[in-house]
Amino acid sequence: MTWTRSEVQYGILQKICLHAIKYGPIPKHVAFIMDGNRRFADGKMLKKSDGHLHGFTKLSETLQWCRDIGIEEVSIFTFSIDNFNRSHEEVSFLMNLAEEKLQELLDNKDELKADDICIRVIGNLALLPAKVQSLAAQLMLVTRNHSKSILNICMAYNSRNDITNAMEIVRLGVKEGKIIPSH
């Protein structure tokens, strides 16, 4: 996954579109939900893993477009908690893909620094394999002081889990006397 300056070669139509877009209001933050890779694969008679790889390639292109038009923060929702209910083979493939891509980002830490990109991995990371957790932690540590662009990678997330975790934090805060309930 790249969000650093790369050797992107835009066609003439893409260059015209990028130039035109820059004249309008540009959002500071956009979010993308990675969905439809399996349907894409089914429609093209490909393996599910090939659909995920194709989706990842498109995501990389999309991230570069976002940088080129000046979007400062991008959130990508890559793997919800519900996705753990998929086949063991598919989940293993996706976790291996996550590991590979996080490692690639870490290997490109000099480019991330040069482009001042902060990467945050958000979600219930304890549900992820240890290697993915470790790479995510290293990547966040290495990029924590970068501030020109932010890439939020949401993994092992869903709103129900987020609300449950928030309520547990409040409950512990009340129990420890850090939060005083109103009567």
What ranges do the domains of the chain cover?
Answer: 12-175
Question: Taking the chain, what is the end-to-end CA distance rounded to the nearest angstrom?
Answer: 50
Rounded CA separation 113/14 (Å): 27
Architecture of domain 12-175: 3-Layer(aba) Sandwich (3.40)
List strand residue ranges (DSSP E) for 113-162, in order. 117-122, 149-157
What is the per-residue pLDDT for 134? Answer: 98
Instruction: Transcribe 21-34 into DSSP letters.
Output: HTTS---SEEEEE-
Check if the beta carbon of residue 169 is closer than 8 Å to that of residue 94: no
The predicted pLDDT at position 6 comes to 57
Q: What local confidence, expressed as pLDDT, does residue 128 receive?
A: 97
Q: Which helix (H) or strand (E) holds 80?
A: strand 73-80
Beta carbons of 73 and 150 less than 8 angstroms apart: yes
pLDDT score at 146: 96
- Ranges of residues in the chain with a pLDDT under 50 are none
CB 115 within 8 A of CB 82: no
Contacting residues for 42 by C-beta, under 8 A, at least 6 apart? 51
Alpha carbons 1 and 17: distance in angstroms, whole number: 23
